Amino acid sequence: MTTWEERIDEVWAAAANELVDDEVIARIDALAAERGQGDARAEFERAGARDSAGRPLEAIPLYRRALKLGLDAEHEPQAIIQLASSLRNVGETDEALALLERANADAPESPYRDAVAAFHALALASSGAPYRALSVALLALVPHLPRYHRSLTAYAHEIAERDT
């Protein structure tokens, strides 16, 4: 017998190279119903299905509910990133920025720190701060470079000042 998580993973694997549509949403919703509306992970999966289908306005309240209900350490940062992305997509860049900045401040060593930085850069660019966006992206890249850490860090800080 497969677990609930395995069945969720199977739905996402089957949809990996496809556009998420009403059928995928219905499959995720059916699995989520098994756990009930009071289950954070179920709400997170429902939100993700709608988000992946290009329905951010439907996803946003579900992400909020999942976060309020309390997700585990693996899914909470994903929900924050995905909620912020959806907010950015509907023009709510200030809230997206606040979420991402708090996520970075609360867990700077998170395995999702680079993803947070990438979406932070997108939200900054959407909010009219392209130099700060570039700075955030460059600073996220620095630890992955074999050399040039000091100079690239200095340049990234310098370029961010152009938006102030």
Q: What is the DSSP letter of 84?
A: H
pLDDT at 108: 86
Distances from the Cα of 6 to the Cαs of 13, 18, 58, 111, 113, in angstroms?
10, 19, 25, 22, 26
- DSSP run (H or E) holding 97: helix 93-106
Is the pLDDT reported for residue 18 higher than 90? no
Report the b/e string of 53-71 with b at 16+ CB within 10 A: beebebbbebbebbbeeeb
Q: What is the pTM of this model?
A: 0.93
pLDDT at 16: 85
pLDDT at 66: 98
Confidence of residue 20 (pLDDT cuts 50, 70, 90): confident
Is the pLDDT reported for residue 1 higher than 80? no
Each residue of 86-113: pLDDT tens digit?
Answer: 999 999 999 999 999 999 999 888 999 9
List, in order of start, the domains of the chain with CATH numbers.
4-108 (1.25.40.10)
Q: Tell me the average pLDDT of the chain.
A: 94
